[in-house]
Amino acid sequence: MTPVKICGITRVEDAALAAELGATWIGFVFWPGSPRFVTRAAAADILAAMPPHLTGVGVFVDQPPAEVDATAAQVGLGAVQLHGDESPDAYLVGGRRVIKALRVAPESSESAADAVWPGATLLLDAFDPVRMGGTGRQVDWTVAAAIARRRRTILSGGLRAENVQEALARVAPYALDVSSGIETTPGIKDSARMRAFFDAVRRAAPPSPAGPIESTSGAQS
């Protein structure tokens, strides 16, 4: 099965279901501007209750490296996901495991992605002038497919059970990231939608094994 990250986790029961269904990662949003914001203490409690195979990923937007470091240490994160205009020099320190989000605008091209933290895992999400993710908007899959052929890519943006098989067939990403497509309200996951999403991913072919998230420093999770 293609690796799946369930993002915007705020409740232990949603994280537990993600683990049961075979998620590889769960994402916690530490940007205060998000409706899915969660505190360090809450995220740490949730992650501590999960099986060891489930890795926590922290989502940040232009937050200081020291804050990112402290959050990762307190929560026990396996990787950080950056959605702002962060500089690689400031965040790729000590082999930190990093995912860099790229918001794909209508005029985006695969060549533009080459300049974004070369060698890093990219997460492709739909462009929004205000919201930094979780918009429910679909990425241009033609552009996403071209990027996925050149870079290790996690596909996000408007994914749900009804379209994920087509997304996998057209884009062939390394992994998937879903949040709003399995929610009732922001931060509250719907168990039926989550089960349907994983069922659809499992029915897609060909399966791909889970692997490490890589950073530009070559670190692995």
Least confident of 116-125, 143-152, 160-169, 203-212: 203-212
| 63 assigned to some structural domain | yes
Sign of CA dihedral 17, 20, 23, 25: positive
Query: How far apart, in whole angstroms, are the C-alpha atoms of residue 182 and residue 5?
Result: 12
* Proportion of the chain above pLDDT 90, given as a percent: 69
Range of the domain at 127: 4-203
What tens digit of pLDDT does each residue of 178-206 get? 999 999 999 999 999 999 999 999 999 65
| 218 assigned to some structural domain | no
| 209 assigned to some structural domain | no
Residues 132-143 as b/e (b if ≥16 CB within 10 A, e otherwise) read bbbbbebbbbeb
Query: How far apart, in whole angstroms, are the C-alpha atoms of residue 220 and residue 214?
Result: 5
SS3 164: helix
Q: Which residues contact 145 (CB under 8 A, 6 or more apart)?
A: 170, 171, 172
| 89 assigned to some structural domain | yes
- Split into its structural domains, the chain has a count of 1
Query: How far apart, in whole angstroms, are the C-alpha atoms of residue 221 and residue 219?
Result: 7
Mean pLDDT throughout 38-63?
A: 97
Residue type, 104: V
Q: What is the pLDDT of residue 117?
A: 84
| 101 assigned to some structural domain | yes
Query: How far apart, in whole angstroms, are the C-alpha atoms of residue 93 and residue 82?
Result: 14
Q: What is the pLDDT of residue 218?
A: 39
Question: What's 125's domain CATH number?
Answer: 3.20.20.70
| 128 assigned to some structural domain | yes
Beta carbons within 10 angstroms of residue 118's beta carbon: 10
Q: What is the pLDDT of residue 157?
A: 92
Residue type, 116: V
Decide: 139 and 158 in contact? Cβ < 8 Å.
yes
| 219 assigned to some structural domain | no
Beta carbons within 10 angstroms of residue 53's beta carbon: 10
Residues belonging to the active site: 7, 125
Q: Which residues contact 84 (CB under 8 A, 6 or more apart)?
A: 60, 61, 62, 63, 132
Confidence band of 214 (pLDDT split at 50, 70, 90): low
| 212 assigned to some structural domain | no
What tens digit of pLDDT does each residue of 157-181 get? 999 999 999 999 999 999 999 999 9
